[in-house]
Chain A
Amino acid sequence: MSESNLTEARARLWRPAPLLPKEDERDGALVFVVAVLCFLACVAALAALAADRAATGWRRELSGEVLVQARPGPNETPALAAERAAAALAGVPGVTEVVALGRSEAEALLEPWLGRGGLEDLPVPQLVVVELDREAPARRGALDAALQADGVDAVIHDYEAYLGDVRRAGSLARAGAVGTAALIACAAAAVIAFATRAGMAARREVVEVLHLSGAEDAMLARLFQARFAKLAAVAGVIGAGGAAVIAAGLRALSGSGGFLPILPVDWSDLPWLLLCPLLAAFIAALSARRTAMELLAGFE
Chain B
Amino acid sequence: MVGPGRNPARYEGPAVRFESVGLRYGRQPETLRDVSFDLEPGSFTFLTGASGAGKTTLLKLIYLALRPTRGLITAFGQDVATLPREAVPALRRRVGVVFQEFRLLDHLSAFDNAALPLRLAGLKPKAYRDDVGELLAWVGLGERMHAMPATLSGGEKQRLAIARAVVGKPDVLLADEPTGNVDHDMALRILRLFVELNRLGTTVLIASHDQDLVRQSGKPVMHLARGKLGPASVGRAA
Contact = CB atoms under 8 A, between A and B. Distances in A.
Interface of A: 3-4, 7, 10-11, 14-17, 19-22, 205-206, 208-210, 212-217, 219, 300
B116 A213 contact: yes
A209 B90 contact: no
B145 interface: yes
Contact of B108 (A3, A17, A217): A17
A215 B107 contact: no
A11 B145 contact: yes
A90 to B, nearest CB: 80
Give chain B's interface residue range (CB within 8 Å of chain A).
Answer: 20 to 34
B236 interface: no
A213 B109 contact: no
A11 B66 contact: no
Contact of A3 (B89, B90, B143, B164): B143
Nearest to A299: B65
Contacts of A208: 103
Nearest to B95: A214
Contacts of B201: none
Nearest to A8: B133
B112 A212 contact: no
B68 to A, nearest CB: 11
Contacts, number: 66
Contacts of A215: 89, 120
29 contacts: A3-B143, A7-B142, A7-B145, A7-B146, A11-B111, A11-B129, A14-B125, A14-B129, A15-B125, A16-B115, A16-B125, A19-B119, A21-B107, A205-B103, A206-B105, A209-B105, A209-B116, A210-B116, A212-B92, A212-B97, A214-B89, A214-B92, A214-B93, A214-B117, A214-B120, A215-B120, A216-B86, A219-B120, A300-B67
Interface in B77-118: 85-86, 89-90, 92-93, 97, 103, 105, 107-109, 111-112, 115-117
A209 B112 CA distance: 13
Contacts of B76: none
A-B complex: 8 closest residue pairs judged by Cβ atoms: A214-B93, A21-B107, A214-B92, A216-B89, A214-B89, A215-B120, A214-B120, A17-B112
B103 A22 contact: no
B121 interface: yes
Contacts of B116: 209-210, 213
Contacts of A217: 85
A215 B88 CA distance: 9
Contacts of A11: 111, 129, 133, 145
Contacts of B125: 14-16
A233 B115 CA distance: 31
